[in-house]
Chain A
Amino acid sequence: GQHIDQPTEMTATEGAIVQINCTYQTSGFNGLFWYQQHAGEAPTFLSYNVLDGLEEKGRFSSFLSRSKGYSYLLLKELQMKDSASYLCAVIDSNYQLIWGAGTKLIIKP
């Protein structure tokens, strides 16, 4: 079956850099999303990758390797407000959205 793997939880220090990995096995690929979800709040869009390479957007960057079925979200200069869950989702060949279970990121001072 189709599935996406992400670490369940990660801890990092304020001001540091953290990389959240996402590996996927899906029937085809039409794009990959990253969403951020603060506790008790709505998931919000962070990035969309459809071609291989790195997309940079301020402190956040997202990388994709389609041949390896792999993506990561890189967060730089971590701030306490970055404590949240990060959701990876892949669009398969039928344009269905397959979700990972999310990675809870804890930032410590």
Chain B
Amino acid sequence: ETGVTQTPRHLVMGMTNKKSLKCEQHLGHNAMYWYKQSAKKPLELMFVYNFKEQTENNSVPSRFSPECPNSSHLFLHLHTLQPEDSALYLCASSQGRDNTGELFFGEGSRLTVL
């Protein structure tokens, strides 16, 4: 079983749909992250949670809404997205949140907004 699991792997949605991405980590880590990965661009950090508390929100539009019910699970709720939101959404976890430790990534959810 992989350390960080993301579902679904692929998602196609219309601009008026509501969907959610799910991430689960089995590593006992304290920090979890959502990143957006677009072709030929650097990874964009969206949200950080440490011990279930949101510690960072990097000016992400409100159509993206994170939820962290416990240290092992992280959700990204999607609502009225735009075509430019089409990207690979990566979840990651780490032992600490100061970024000096290795990040463990999931395989990502490939989102297409029509």
Interface residues of A (CB under 8 A from B): 4, 8, 30-31, 33, 35, 40-45, 48, 87, 89, 91, 95-102
Taken together as a complex, chains A and B put the C-alpha atoms of A102 and B108 apart, in Å, by 17
Task: Classify chain B: how many residues form its interface, as a range.
Answer: 10 to 19
Contact present for B40 and A101 (CB under 8 Å):
yes
Q: Report whether over half of chain B's contact residues are helix, strand or loop; otherwise say mixed.
A: loop
A-contacting residues of B (Cβ < 8 Å)? 2, 4, 40-43, 45, 90, 98-100, 102-108
* Contact present for B99 and A42 (CB under 8 Å): no
Residue from B40, B98, B105 within 8 A of A42 (CB atoms): B105
Given A41-B107, A44-B105: A91 touches B99 (CB 8 Å cut-off): yes
Shortest beta-carbon distance, A24 to chain B, in Å?
12
**Cβ contacts under 8 Å, B100 to chain A:** 30-31, 91, 95
